[in-house]
Amino acid sequence: MTMRTITLPLAALLATGVIAGCGDDETTSQTSDAGDTTTEMGSFALVTGAPDGFDDVSGTATLVRNDAGTDVAIELSGLKPDMKYASHVHADFCDQADPGGPHFKFAADGADTPPNEIHLPFQSDADGNGSATAHNDQTVPVGEGKSIVVHTAPAAETSDAGSDDHASTPSRAAKIACASLDTGDASDGASAATTKPTPSTPASEDSESLAIDVKGGTPVGGVKSLTVKKGDRVRFTVSSDTTSEIHVHAYDIMKDAGPGKPATFDFKAAIEGIFEVEVEDTGEQIVKLTVNP
């Protein structure tokens, strides 16, 4: 009898206690913390209209976002040695008329300086290599911050805090190279579909250094297949009887191939998926590039 009178109010107390202590907001935000990291990567390529003296710039860009903020890292080679450079996360992809478009800003009406923008100033070494990293406590929204652009450094940007509104004064900071960022990570459901590799044809036996001959804007012998693993080097050479721009999609690498001047491609396969290499003027595909995980 006594047992029963005690257990009933105790059970009722426990029940209300459990409900009060279990904050719904807390549990849901904790679960999403774990799965919210996305990594995007890209390869640097020279932009059209880059200043004289830059002709073989390449490198990689990585942007990692999670609830703790955004981390960006770049690594370049082929730059002019011992020179200061500016680089920023930009709003658009590299294939725009103005490669990369304007700077990415967290607050559209906010300042042109960090932390409202992400800047990665750096100086190249004696061999023309350069690298930089940046952390921002804010998280770049998925689908924004689509590229990283490297510029010549305007005098004002030798100190990072200085104002550099190069969008309105483009002559002061010419764009040199641009890397479009692509989600190569399946943790983000929305973009996973576009980067997931589909079953592909077997690797061509000479994927080491493929040679493509273009005549009249079309590939001799048809579209060649090139299959590599992510992180491998992609190497091929395009010869053409007419001067044509050769474009590697997604990686946004463009090079001119012309009579006696073949275009040599050599870049890291940083983005998974199946990509076209085409003759830009004719839209003719010459290579099917497959990058497997």
Least distance in angstroms from the C-beta of 148 to Cu ion: 8
Least distance in angstroms from the C-beta of 159 to Cu ion: 16
Least distance in angstroms from the C-beta of 118 to Cu ion: 10
**Nearest C-alpha neighbor of 282 from the set 217, 220, 224:** 217
Strands 244-248, 273-279: pairing kind: antiparallel
Question: Cβ closer to Cu ion: 175 or 255?
Answer: 175
Question: Cβ closer to Cu ion: 133 or 209?
Answer: 133
Position of minimal CB gap to Cu ion: 88
Which neighbouring-strand residues pair with 262? none
DSSP H or E segment with residue 288 = strand 284-292
Q: Which two tokens stand for residue 137?
A: 């406590």
Cβ count near 127 (within 10 Å): 11
SS3 155: helix
Question: Cβ closer to Cu ion: 172 or 230?
Answer: 172
Residue tagged 């029963």 (tokens): 4
Question: Cβ closer to Cu ion: 167 or 203?
Answer: 167
Least distance in angstroms from the C-beta of 151 to Cu ion: 5
Four-residue CA torsion sign, 162, 167, 168, 171: positive
Question: Cβ closer to Cu ion: 94 or 257?
Answer: 94
Least distance in angstroms from the C-beta of 160 to Cu ion: 13
Residues that bind Cu ion (CB under 5 A): 88, 149
